[in-house]
């Protein structure tokens, strides 16, 4: 890395593990899952966003967490389906890559290049699956929306005593309403993120103009209207407003999470959210609210594709699990007093056993 600047090294450390995880996920989706190229690319981009959001939780832990999400039964089920036209996809992907490289070198704005690549990839993804309420586009938008929220709150509300708070970046504030609007128009279920988004913006202490709040609220109102039209006013209705009172629905929701990662995953998630709420209260609160909104939907929804529509629960659970692994590794390293942080990587490496078991299950199936 001697030929790289300090900024380039920092970017490599930030995005290197995420890019590696996304590449592995893409190869698995195409090779093992037989997913069409465009679909595999969109799903890999979702893994890229989730892994990048978990990067502050450790290099090895974030990589293992990204692979855990990619190989979870609910996420992996998105690999199947009708094919697309490879020649068109490859040409469009080359154009998107060229645009990203050009923006990076000519404009000297790496964050703009990343944003441009995301927008172009989403456009390609949407073009290939141009039906309304694309579930896979919802996954892509959700992953990057969570990345923006996590990265912004980690920056504006760091752990006390680690580093001073900083103002959110412009691309945080620009990306959140953009992705929220795109997601709500594609699938009104993304509107369930509205409470978490509003709280995250308030906790960021950013000075935002009135039109910014108006845009967020307008997107939320439009999404709520579409949500009611799609689920509550459908014929027959797809929501039971009092379904949360049925004990069997709570058990079914618990079984959904249990089917993804077993009891170990649930235990890690509980530990992770407890420690996250202790050391990063704003981030812990925002993720809990987002999880609660989707959980309430899961308790009242009676339609099809339930496992896929609740994928946001699994994404948040994986983040909590990853933070739990980071907490355990930090505790072990502190107990054994290794100044180089060797035990952090060794303990985090044990987390790789989970995606390995999920991969073995996929191969055997």
Q: Is the pLDDT of residue 84 over 50?
A: no
Q: For residue 321, give the nearest of 236, 256, 362, 263 by alpha carbon.
A: 263
Q: From CA 219, how far away is CA 91, in angstroms rounded? A: 33
What is the gyration radius of the CA atoms in the chain, in angstroms? 20
Are 58 and 14 contacting, i.e. CB atoms less than 8 angstroms apart?
Answer: no
Q: Is the pLDDT of residue 109 over 80?
A: no
Q: Is the pLDDT of residue 82 over 50?
A: no
Count CB atoms within 10 A of the CB of residue 77.
15
Are 139 and 43 contacting, i.e. CB atoms less than 8 angstroms apart?
Answer: yes
Q: Is the pLDDT of residue 239 over 50?
A: yes
In tens, the pLDDT along 317-364 reads 999 999 999 999 989 888 888 777 788 888 888 899 999 999 999 998
State the chain's mean pLDDT as an integer: 83
> Would you kindly state where each structural domain of the chain is located, as residue ranges?
6-84+129-364
Are 151 and 200 contacting, i.e. CB atoms less than 8 angstroms apart?
Answer: no
pTM of this structure: 0.85
Average pLDDT over residues 114-135: 55
What would the two tokens of residue 56 be? Answer: 């502050």
Q: From CA 188, how far away is CA 133, in angstroms rounded? A: 8
In tens, the pLDDT along 162-215 reads 788 888 988 888 889 888 988 888 889 999 999 999 999 999 988 888 899 998
Q: Is the pLDDT of residue 91 over 80?
A: no
Average pLDDT over residues 12-31: 90
Count CB atoms within 10 A of the CB of residue 289.
18
In tens, the pLDDT along 31-76 reads 888 888 888 888 999 999 999 999 888 888 999 999 999 999 999 9
In tens, the pLDDT along 5-17 reads 777 777 788 888 8
Q: Is the pLDDT of residue 104 over 70?
A: no
Helix residue spans in 228-338 (DSSP H):
247-279, 281-300, 306-309, 311-336
The better pLDDT of the pair 96, 365 is held by: 365
Are 171 and 144 contacting, i.e. CB atoms less than 8 angstroms apart?
Answer: no
């Amino acid at each position: 890395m001697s030929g790289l600047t300090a900024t380039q090294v920092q970017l490599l450390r930030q995005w290197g593990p995420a890019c590696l995880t996304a590449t592995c996920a893409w190869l698995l989706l195409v090779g093992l899952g037989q997913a069409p190229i465009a679909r595999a690319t969109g799903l890999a981009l979702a893994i890229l966003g989730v892994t990048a959001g978990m990067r502050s939780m450790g290099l090895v832990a974030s990589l293992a967490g990204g692979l855990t999400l990619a190989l979870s039964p609910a996420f992996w089920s998105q690999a199947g389906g009708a094919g697309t036209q490879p020649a068109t996809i490859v040409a469009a992907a080359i154009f998107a890559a060229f645009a990203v490289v050009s923006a990076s070198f000519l404009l000297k704005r790496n964050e703009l290049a990343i944003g441009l690549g995301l927008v172009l990839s989403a456009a390609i993804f949407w073009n290939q699956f141009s039906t309304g309420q694309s579930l896979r586009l919802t996954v892509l938008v959700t992953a990057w929306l969570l990345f923006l929220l996590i990265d912004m709150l980690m920056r504006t509300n760091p752990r006390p005593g680690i580093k001073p708070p900083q103002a959110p970046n412009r691309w945080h504030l620009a990306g959140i309403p953009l992705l929220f609007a795109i997601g709500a128009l594609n699938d009104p279920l993304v509107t369930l993120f509205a409470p978490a988004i509003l709280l995250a913006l308030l906790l960021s202490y950013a000075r935002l103009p009135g039109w910014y709040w108006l845009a967020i609220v307008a997107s939320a109102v439009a999404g709520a209207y579409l949500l009611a039209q799609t689920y509550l006013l459908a014929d027959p209705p797809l929501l039971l407003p009092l379904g949360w009172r049925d004990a069997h629905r709570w058990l079914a929701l618990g079984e959904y999470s249990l089917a993804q990662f077993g009891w170990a995953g649930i235990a890690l998630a509980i530990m992770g959210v407890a420690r996250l709420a202790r050391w990063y209260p704003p981030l812990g609160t925002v993720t809990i609210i987002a999880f609660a909104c989707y959980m309430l939907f899961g308790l009242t929804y009676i339609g099809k594709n339930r496992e896929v529509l609740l994928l946001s629960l699994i994404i948040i659970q994986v983040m909590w699990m990853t933070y739990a692994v980071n907490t355990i590794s930090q505790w072990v390293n502190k107990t054994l007093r290794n100044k180089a942080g060797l035990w952090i990587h060794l303990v985090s490496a044990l987390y790789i056993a989970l995606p390995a078991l999920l991969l073995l299950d996929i191969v055997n199936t």
